[in-house]
A and B are shown apart, each in its own frame.
Chain A
Amino acid sequence: MLELHNVRVYHGPIEAVHGLSVSVSEGQCVVLLGPNGAGKTSTLSAIAGVASSRGQITFNGHDLEGLSIEERQRLGIALAPEGRRIFSNLSVRENLLIGAATRTDRPGVASDIDYWFSTFPVLHERSDQAAGTLSGGEQQMLTIARALMSKPRILLLDEPSLGLAPLICKQIFALIDSLKAQGMTILLVEQNVRDALQLADYGYMLNSGNLMSEGDRETLSRQGASMSTLTGINHT
C-alpha cells in the first residue's frame, strides 16, 4: 500500500534520512523505532509532504513525487503529528470538523463526531471549549480523532505516547490496538519500544538516519537488548 524506496529526507541542506526503504501493506501496523534524531519523524514528514525528499514514495500505486501536502492528504494519508498540533484556538468540535474538511457527506461527518464523543466522553463534555484547555492526553486523543475524521486509508502516528502519564499511554495504545482491529493501516513512530512492538506486525529500527535492522515482532524483540541501549528505554 505504502512503499518507500531508498528515500532521503532533507531539512534544508541537512540530510536527515540516508536512503530508507519501508513497506506497509493494507491493514498492517508497522512501527518505526529509534532514539531521538534517528529520522523517524523526518520519514513521516516526507510521506506527508511536509519535508522535502528524494527517492521514490508510492501510495496505492500513485507516485507521490511533486504532490502537495493537501493532494497527499486527499489520497488518504492522514498525519497525527509529533507535538499534536491541535488548533488550540478552535473548539474541540471545530477541531473534529476541520479534520473532515475534505468530506462532503454532512450526516456522515456528524455521526463520526458522535462516535468520537462516545468513545472519548471527555471530548464531548468539552466540545465547545477551546481545545487548548484540554490536558495532554486529551489533546492526543483529539489529534488522533481529528486525523481519522477524514476517513484516511493510512494513519501516520508520530509518538502518540510522548510526554504522557503511563495510564494515559495505556489508553492511547488501547485505542491504536482497536483501530488496528478495525482494519486501519497504521505507520507508527515510537520510542516506547515495548508497547509499540506489542501492536506492530513489522518494525524498522533506525539510528542517525540509517536503518539498523528490520523484522517482525519476534525478531525485533529478540534484539531488544541492543535496542534498549540505543533508545535508553529499559523495557523489562
Chain B
Amino acid sequence: MDYAIQQVLNALSFGAEYALLALGLAIVFSIMGLVNFAHGEIIAAGGYSMFAITSLLTGNPFVVIVGALLVAVLASVLLERVAFRPVRYADASTGLLTAFGVSMILQNLFLLLVSPRPIAITNLYFLNWPIEVAGVQISTLQVFETVTTAIAICLLVVFLKKSSFGIAMRAASLDFEMVRLMGIRANRVVAVAFAVSGLLAGLACIFIMARRGSVDPTFGFNPVLKAFVACVLGGFGSLPGAVLGGFLLGAIEVGMLVLLPQSYGGMKEAFVFGIVALILVWRPDGILSPAVEKGDKL
C-alpha cells in the first residue's frame, strides 16, 4: 500500500513538471504556431539566476525563488522581442529554426560565460524532505510540486476564461488576424503569451532544481524534450491536451519503472516512447487535438 501511494505521488510530481512545461510550449504554439525549442534555455536561465542571486546577493530561498521566476518571465519576453518577433509572419519552419538557433546560442553562452560543469545550488533542498503521513513515507517536494501545478492550472483557467487578455488569447489561437481586426494589439497578446509561458517554465525550474541541486548548460534540454512529447501526446496546441499529456507521460514513466524488471531498467525510455507511439497510432493528432475547422457553413 505504502509503495503504491509513493508511486502515485511519483507519477503526479513527474506529471506536474511535464504539464507545466508542456503548457508553456502549448500556449505559445496555440497563438503563434511556433514550437519554442528555446524553452529549455529559459529554464536554464532561471537556474543560473539562482546561482547569481545566491552568490551576489543573498541565499534567502524566497528571494532566490522569486528572482528565478522573474528572470524566467523576462528571458521569455526578451526572446520573443529579440528573436521571434522579426520572424513572426514568416514561414512556420523559419520560426522553428529560429528557436533551434536561439537554443544553441544560449547553451553556448552558458558554456562560455559561466561554466561547462554543473554548478551546485543547494538552497532549495529545504523543499525536499521526507515526511510521514498516516504511516506512509512521502517527499514534501512531490506534494509541493503537485499542489503548485494544480494551483497554476486553476489560475491559468481563470485567466483565460475571465480576463479580457485571456479571451483574446483564446480567440488568437483560432484566428489571430481577426483578433487584430478587433483592435487588439498583436504585440501585447504575444508578449503576454510568452510571459505566461516563462512563468510556467520558472515554476518548473524551481522544482527541477530542488530535486537535482545543480545547473549546467543543457539543464533544460531533457525536461523540454519530455514536455514536447507530452504536447504531442495530448494534441499539439490544445492546453487541456498539454496538461493531460504531461500527467499521462509521468504516469507511463513511473509505471514502466515499477513494472519493468531490474535488468530492463536501462530500457525504460524505449518502453515509454513505445507506449507513446502506440497511443499516437490510436490518435495520430494526439488525444485532445483541437478540432480542425472543416470550412465554414456557407
B170 within 8 A of A: yes
A89 within 8 A of B: yes
Q: In whole angstroms, what is the CA distance A146 to B171 when docked?
A: 13
B179 within 8 A of A: yes
Closest A residue to B172 by beta carbon equals A87
B298 within 8 A of A: yes
**Chain A residues with CB below 8 A from B164, complex form:** 97-98, 101
B52 to chain A, nearest CB (A): 38
Q: In whole angstroms, what is the CA distance A133 to B182 when docked?
A: 21
Q: Are B181 and A87 in contact (CB under 8 A)?
A: no
A170 within 8 A of B: no
**Chain B residues with CB below 8 A from A97, complex form:** 164, 167
A214 within 8 A of B: no
Stretch at the interface among A67-75, A204-212, A223-231: A67-75
Q: Are B183 and A90 in contact (CB under 8 A)?
A: no
Q: Are B168 and A101 in contact (CB under 8 A)?
A: yes
**Chain A residues with CB below 8 A from B178, complex form:** 81, 85, 87
Q: In whole angstroms, what is the CA distance A89 to B170 when docked?
A: 8
Most buried by A among B173, B174, B181, B293: B181
Q: In whole angstroms, what is the CA distance A141 to B179 when docked?
A: 18
A83 within 8 A of B: yes
Q: Are A90 and B170 in contact (CB under 8 A)?
A: yes
A99 within 8 A of B: yes
Q: Are A74 and B298 in contact (CB under 8 A)?
A: no
Q: Are A90 and B171 in contact (CB under 8 A)?
A: yes
Q: Are B183 and A73 in contact (CB under 8 A)?
A: yes
Within 8 A of B (CB), among A132-177: 135-136, 139, 146, 150, 162-163
B175 within 8 A of A: yes
Q: In whole angstroms, what is the CA distance A74 to B298 when docked?
A: 30
Residues of A within 8 A of B (CB-CB), count = 30
Q: In whole angstroms, what is the CA distance A50 to B293 when docked?
A: 21
A15 within 8 A of B: no
Closest A residue to B166 by beta carbon equals A94
**Chain A residues with CB below 8 A from B298, complex form:** 83, 136, 162-163
Evaluate whether A85 and B168 lie within 8 angstroms (CB atoms) in the complex, with A70-B184, A73-B182, A150-B182 already known: no
Contact of B181 among A79, A83, A135 (CB under 8 A): A79
Q: In whole angstroms, what is the CA distance A180 to B201 when docked?
A: 52
Q: In whole angstroms, what is the CA distance A7 to B103 when docked?
A: 44
**Chain A residues with CB below 8 A from B175, complex form:** 85, 87
**Chain B residues with CB below 8 A from A73, complex form:** 180-183
Q: Are A88 and B293 in contact (CB under 8 A)?
A: yes
Most buried by B among A98, A99, A136: A98
B69 to chain A, nearest CB (A): 28
B192 within 8 A of A: no
Q: Are A68 and B180 in contact (CB under 8 A)?
A: yes
Closest B residue to A83 by beta carbon equals B296
9 new A-B pairs (CB below 8 Å) besides A70-B183, A81-B181, A87-B170? Answer: A68-B180, A73-B182, A87-B171, A89-B173, A94-B171, A97-B167, A102-B182, A136-B298, A162-B298
**Chain B interface (Cβ within 8 Å of chain A)?**
164, 167-168, 170-171, 173-175, 177-186, 293, 296-298
**Chain A interface (Cβ within 8 Å of chain B)?**
48, 50, 68-70, 73-74, 78-79, 81, 83-85, 87-90, 94, 97-99, 101-102, 135-136, 139, 146, 150, 162-163
The 4 closest A-B pairs by CB, nearest first: A163-B298, A73-B183, A102-B183, A69-B180
